[in-house]
Amino acid sequence: MKKIGTILVASALMISCGSNKEMNSVNSKTEKIQVVKNTFFIDSTTVRRHLYTLASDDMEGRKSGTEGIEKAAKYIESEFKRIGLTTFEGLETYRQTFNFTPRRGKEEITSANIIGVLEGKSKKEEYVIISAHYDHLGMKKSGRGDLIFNGANDDASGVAGVLALAAYFKKVGNERTIVFAAFTAEEMGLIGSTHFGKGIDASKFIAGINLEMIGKVPSFGPNTAWLTGFDRSDFGKIIQKNLMGTGYQLFPDPYKKFNLFFRSDNASLARLGVPSHTFSTTPIDVDKDYHKVSDEAETLNMTVITQTIQAVAKGTESIINGKDTPTRVVLEEKNK
């Protein structure tokens, strides 16, 4: 795992990871408690646990309809319960189970989106969704050596972010209701998020925050991320405004030819008019691990993942607390 110098850890966002406790150990006990209490805290150790669990060989590549993704689903459910999330409207559990037949398949598959909710305070009828897909490609049918598509960056990293943000907002509070969703069957054509979109009143959804492949240093350099569909609403400009002075920067998606705005789960809500965008850090044009068995947790940078989660929380804070409302998304694909 590539390491970034400690100066980046200390400066990024001017907020606290687990290492900050050690950095402040020379202070008095009173000062140390005050620093930890008043800083933005994302537990990098817990983020690491989420990532390594979801990307482990035991999950067998998390292909929808397999025993491997069932293990992942149970893990996410257990974390939602531990955090204290409630179930989404009309559901008795965190699971939104449904059947589908893949485009290139003949057999029907049963799978589930895993959805948890933090009810808002003053604006609980207005929803913000934070999402990532927890499925991946499964396993090779034959061959030698490594046969498992672990999908660490794609998208165990994003799910780790969803879980960390759920724990964070449970602690600090939220004015708008937050829906946390781990979508299934993204790799089969955004099937899980499309199913979710069919059952909602899109007018209630103020914004969609999707996390996809947040585990590698971007082409823009450390302390940066990029956002798909930047010019399709003012969502990105709101994030940039909120990140001013933090040392972290958000850029528009630099990979226009890949049409990434329509290739992740944000698109399912965007097609309903929701200003739903995807945060990423990976230089997708040169990433040697994309959809390869080499996409292992050990190849990712935990500093990048943790700082990106922190930046998403800080950048979306005014939206989640009702101070900013992004413009509805512009969908014309001719502008891609």
Tell which residue, 94, 91, 111, 93, has the closest CA to residue 102.
Answer: 111
Please say whether the beta carbons of 230 and 12 come within 8 A. Answer: no
pTM: 0.88
Asked if the peptide bond before residue 135 counts as cis, ω within 30 degrees of 0, the response is no
Please say whether the beta carbons of 133 and 187 come within 8 A. Answer: yes
pLDDT digits (tens, 9 = 90+) for 24-75: 333 333 333 232 333 457 889 999 999 999 999 999 999 999 999 999 999 9
Task: Name residue 221's amino acid.
Answer: G
Average pLDDT, integer, range 104-117: 94
Q: Is the pLDDT of residue 227 over 80?
A: yes
Q: Residue 242 has what pLDDT?
A: 98
Tell which residue, 184, 209, 161, has the closest CA to residue 114.
Answer: 184
pLDDT digits (tens, 9 = 90+) for 186-200: 999 999 999 999 999
Tell which residue, 158, 118, 177, 123, has the closest CA to residue 295.
Answer: 158
pLDDT digits (tens, 9 = 90+) for 275-324: 999 999 999 999 999 999 999 999 999 999 999 999 999 999 999 999 99
First vs last Cα of the chain: how many Å apart?
Answer: 34
Tell which residue, 177, 185, 221, has the closest CA to residue 321.
Answer: 177
